[in-house]
């Protein structure tokens, strides 16, 4: 089966073509700067353990044109991997917010699309772009089964005591205001791999997704019981440009005392805060370079970043009533050895100690970095959200649910 995975952003499209069930990646790519004259497509073809990279710069006015250009590459006489779009049997779409409507992966129908549109107010930066990707793909791959995989679905197993806010009841019952959580596809992928690695029937995991966006989940026996993000993706950990947890009084002070309007405050907390607000940099690589040069602001931000994660680790260990492993994943989690060391420092009470040599290894595969005698495994597991989406889509079409 040819299964095409699409992750559509406001000005970008990430994609991968899989042969299933072998889970073989045939090609992948990224369309960037959609809407501009100098848009960029980076297309990669994998054949005989070799990778060929095809970079293109061209005007791409909209997502439809962008995906049409991708199809040209997929069907090109020299580098193509299919002969025509009809060979794509399934298209899997990442959709950020599924609300309470979608606790599972879903085949896209008109009713599904209507529900996704209803959720636009809960994810105004993401769901409209995801929806646009669906509509464009329906035109280009009209015979394919279109499937939505929701970032929030993995967290729908949380109990009410974890996802409810202590605000008047009608805000939840009438408006659906609650914690939903995000990065669920990533958390599920690494949790499943960790459980398989541990070979234990009963497992208590803390999964830590650290990229430009950051989140954590408490996972018991493969089921999410709590997560750090909330109604939207701003809550919880300190992130690249997002503040994470903040006293609500700060918002009222900015508006009522300093004269900011709510749109400005939203921009500050979403796009100008986090590591960017503290250091001037949103990329952890730039921050670590600044630390090496003696920048005290960068060092403080680094310490704050790790401290917030440690607080959540303690809370989730309590929620789980025990801990078998913690899992680091995503760009920072997989590659920043110093932040992993700082997070795990002085955590012996929870049974967490890391082996410096293991932690410093440049190995990019799944690996253990804890000491041999540690009670709790510390794992680094590269995430693969596109593969998780492909697996969920393939499982759905192979084992259709009764209506």
- Residue 148 tokens read as 């939505």
Q: From edge to edge, which strands make up the β-sheet containing 223-227?
A: 223-227, 214-220, 204-210, 325-329, 377-380, 367-368
Determine if residue 211 is labeled as part of a ligand binding site. yes
First to last CA, the chain: 24
Determine if residue 314 is labeled as part of a ligand binding site. no
CB 33 within 8 Å of CB 40? yes
- Concatenating the DSSP letter of every residue in 175-194 gives T--S---S-HHHHHHHHHHH
Going by C-alpha positions, the residue among 361, 355, 127, 80 that lies closest to residue 232 is 127
Determine if residue 333 is labeled as part of a ligand binding site. yes
Determine if residue 7 is labeled as part of a ligand binding site. yes
CB atoms within 10 A of CB 295: 17
The single residue of 76, 77, 151, 261 carrying the catalytic annotation is 151
Q: For residues 353 and 376, give the distance between their C-alpha atoms in angstroms, rounded to a whole number.
A: 8
Determine if residue 176 is labeled as part of a ligand binding site. no
Q: For residues 115 and 135, give the distance between their C-alpha atoms in angstroms, rounded to a whole number.
A: 14
Determine if residue 213 is labeled as part of a ligand binding site. yes
Determine if residue 331 is labeled as part of a ligand binding site. yes
Determine if residue 181 is labeled as part of a ligand binding site. no
Determine if residue 212 is labeled as part of a ligand binding site. yes
Determine if residue 359 is labeled as part of a ligand binding site. no
Determine if residue 375 is labeled as part of a ligand binding site. no
CB 91 within 8 Å of CB 137? yes
Determine if residue 25 is labeled as part of a ligand binding site. no
Whether 245 sits among the annotated catalytic residues: the reply is no
CB 43 within 8 Å of CB 35? no
Q: At what angle do helices 262-271 and 248-256 cross, to 10 degrees?
A: 130
Q: Which residue has the tokens 């107010």?
A: 121
Sign of the dihedral defined by the CA atoms of residues 343, 348, 352, 356, in that order = positive
Determine if residue 340 is labeled as part of a ligand binding site. no
Annotated binding site: 7, 14, 94, 209-213, 283-285, 331-335, 385
Annotated binding site for ATP: 14, 209-213, 283-285, 331-335
**Which residues are part of the catalytic machinery?**
151
Annotated binding site for Mg(2+): 7, 385
Annotated binding site for substrate: 94
């Amino acid at each position: 089966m040819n299964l095409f995975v699409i992750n559509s952003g406001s000005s970008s499209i990430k994609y991968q073509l899989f042969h299933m069930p072998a889970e073989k990646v045939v090609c992948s790519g990224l369309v960037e700067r959609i809407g501009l004259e100098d848009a960029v497509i980076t297309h990669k073809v994998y054949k005989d353990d070799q990778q060929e990279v095809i970079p293109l710069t061209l005007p791409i006015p909209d997502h439809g044109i962008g995906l049409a250009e991708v199809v040209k590459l997929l069907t090109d006489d020299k580098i193509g991997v299919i002969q025509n779009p009809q060979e794509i049997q399934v298209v899997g779409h990442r959709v950020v917010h599924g609300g309470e409507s979608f606790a599972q992966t879903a085949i896209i129908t008109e009713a599904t699309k209507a529900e996704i549109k209803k959720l636009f107010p809960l994810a105004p930066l993401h769901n409209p772009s995801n929806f646009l990707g669906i509509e464009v793909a329906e035109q280009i791959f009209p015979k394919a089964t279109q499937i939505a995989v929701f970032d929030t679905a993995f967290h729908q197993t949380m109990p009410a005591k974890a996802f409810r806010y202590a605000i008047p009841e009608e805000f939840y019952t009438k408006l659906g205001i609650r914690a939903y959580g995000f990065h669920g596809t990533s958390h599920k992928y690494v949790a499943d791999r960790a459980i398989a690695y541990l070979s234990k029937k009963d497992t208590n995991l803390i999964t830590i997704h650290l990229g430009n966006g950051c989140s954590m989940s408490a996972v018991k026996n493969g089921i999410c019981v709590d997560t750090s993000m909330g109604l939207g993706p701003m809550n919880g950990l300190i992130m690249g440009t997002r503040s994470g947890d903040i006293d609500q009084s700060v918002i009222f002070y900015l508006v009522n005392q300093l004269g900011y309007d709510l749109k400005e405050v939203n921009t500050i907390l979403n796009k100008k805060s986090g590591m960017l607000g503290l250091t001037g940099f949103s990329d952890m690589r730039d921050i670590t370079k600044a630390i090496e040069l003696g920048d005290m602001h960068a060092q403080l931000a680094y310490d704050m970043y790790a401290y917030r994660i440690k607080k959540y680790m303690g809370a989730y260990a309590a929620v789980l009533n025990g801990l078998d492993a913690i899992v680091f994943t995503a760009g920072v989690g997989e590659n920043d050895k110093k932040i992993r060391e700082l997070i795990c420092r002085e955590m012996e009470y929870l049974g967490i100690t890391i082996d410096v040599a293991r932690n410093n290894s440049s190995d990019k595969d799944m690996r253990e970095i804890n000491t041999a005698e540690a009670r709790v495994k510390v794992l680094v597991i590269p995430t693969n959200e596109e593969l998780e989406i492909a697996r969920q889509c393939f499982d759905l079409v192979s084992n259709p649910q009764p209506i």
